Structure 1
Amino acid sequence: MQTWCLVAMTLLALAAMASGQSDRPGRFLSLPVPQKCATRPKEFAYQGRSYFYSGHVPALANKKVDWLDGRNICREYCMDLISIETQEENNLVFRLIQQNDVPYIWTSGRLCDFKGCESRRDLEPKNILGWFWSANREKLSATNQIPNGWGYNPWSQTGHKKQRQPDNAEFDINGTTESCLSVLNNVYKDGIAWHDVACYHEKPFICEDSEELLNYVAANNPNLRL
């Protein structure tokens, strides 16, 4: 587990630089804080995992952060940014956004466009096959298809360029790749839907239990109740 943490921190440091964060050097993945893990907020649950929306946690209520900072805040609680892997889980997120009028949130979705992804032919074309959930390193379904087991494609059919997401629109504006996955609430008159967004933008977020981090902390703190 310690080896995994070191590898993951290295990859995400590279990913941060690749996503336009090189002006903030030395940014690595945070390790979990055992006491925070034991007292982590548990707003709702799905398939045995706990979740919370940052806007509902007093210490984080007014906080908007970039994608990597969002991951690190979650990780200190033995959690990570949410990975939306089923339609039911997506519906939970959409319902939270709708009922609380949340404008947008970060997910753990990430484009594999950083060092180490160059020779991966299975990820080409990147905007269709190059997305994965960074929290558990699972690939997303092709962005132009309905995921297996779903009744709809969660990616928006429009955006800044008036075309289906992901569209990497900001690259045409300032050369920044839209490498992170956000759920937006009707920003483009498209309802609640997935969008690719440049990772430096600041947003609230949803954290989800990380089995790997919980197991890591449990193994090193046998008397701690998680």
Structure 2
Amino acid sequence: INAEYAGAVAVSSGDEYNFIKRAISGQKYIWTGGSGLNRSWRWDNGEPFRFTDWSHTGGNRRPQPDNREGNEACLAILNNFYRDGIKYHDVACYHEKPTICERSGGAGK
């Protein structure tokens, strides 16, 4: 059986992150496939959560993730939203944002 997974992007390396940063240059923000709370984060596709680039600031001017709204369980990449460059931010999941999806091969790929 050859299964494929398609879902929101899981950033697994600096090279992939640089690709994403170039791809979103015209966007304010995007969703990723990251979820969690505070310091316990995971990728929805099961990949290890190794590469991070959390912002040093946010709405409360505190380092990310800060769980500012009390329910910020989704990971977005914001494009200089807080004049901090393109960085990871924890965001409440009800916000509407574009998503970059990726496809990865399953068994046999």
Does TM, scored on the shorter chain, surpass 0.5? yes
State how 1:67-146 maps to structure 2 within 5 Å: 78-98=5-25, 101-111=26-36, 127-128=38-39, 130-135=40-45, 137-141=46-50
Q: CA deviation at 1:208?
A: 0.3
Partner of 1:114: none
Question: Between the two proteins, what is the percent identity of the paired residues?
Answer: 43
State how 1:145-224 maps to structure 2 within 5 Å: 147=51, 154-171=53-70, 177-212=71-106
2:69 alignment partner, SS class:
helix
2:87 alignment partner, SS class:
strand
Deviation track 1:50-80 (CA, whole Å, cap 9, x = no partner) reads xxxxxxxxxxxxxxxxxxxxxxxxxxxx511
How many residues align? The count is 106
Higher strand share: 2
C-alpha distance in structure 2 between counterparts of 1:170 and 1:194, whole Å: 16
C-alpha distance in structure 2 between counterparts of 1:202 and 1:88, whole Å: 26
2:18 alignment partner, SS class:
helix
Compare relative contact order (CA 8 Å, sep 6+) and give the higher one, 1 or 2: 2
Structure 1 segments, 4+ long, off by >2 Å, are none
C-alpha distance in structure 1 between counterparts of 2:104 and 2:17, whole Å: 18
User: Structure 1 unaligned runs (5+)?
Assistant: 2-31, 38-77, 112-125, 142-146, 148-152, 172-176, 216-226
C-alpha distance in structure 1 between counterparts of 2:48 and 2:35, whole Å: 10
C-alpha distance in structure 1 between counterparts of 2:88 and 2:34, whole Å: 10
State how 1:40-55 maps to structure 2 within 5 Å: none
Contact kept? 1:168, 1:197, Cα under 8 Å: yes
Q: CA deviation at 1:180?
A: 0.5
Q: CA deviation at 1:170?
A: 1.2
Higher helix share: 1
The residue identity in structure 2 corresponding to 1:211 is G
Partner of 1:46: none
Q: CA deviation at 1:210?
A: 2.9
Q: CA deviation at 1:209?
A: 0.6
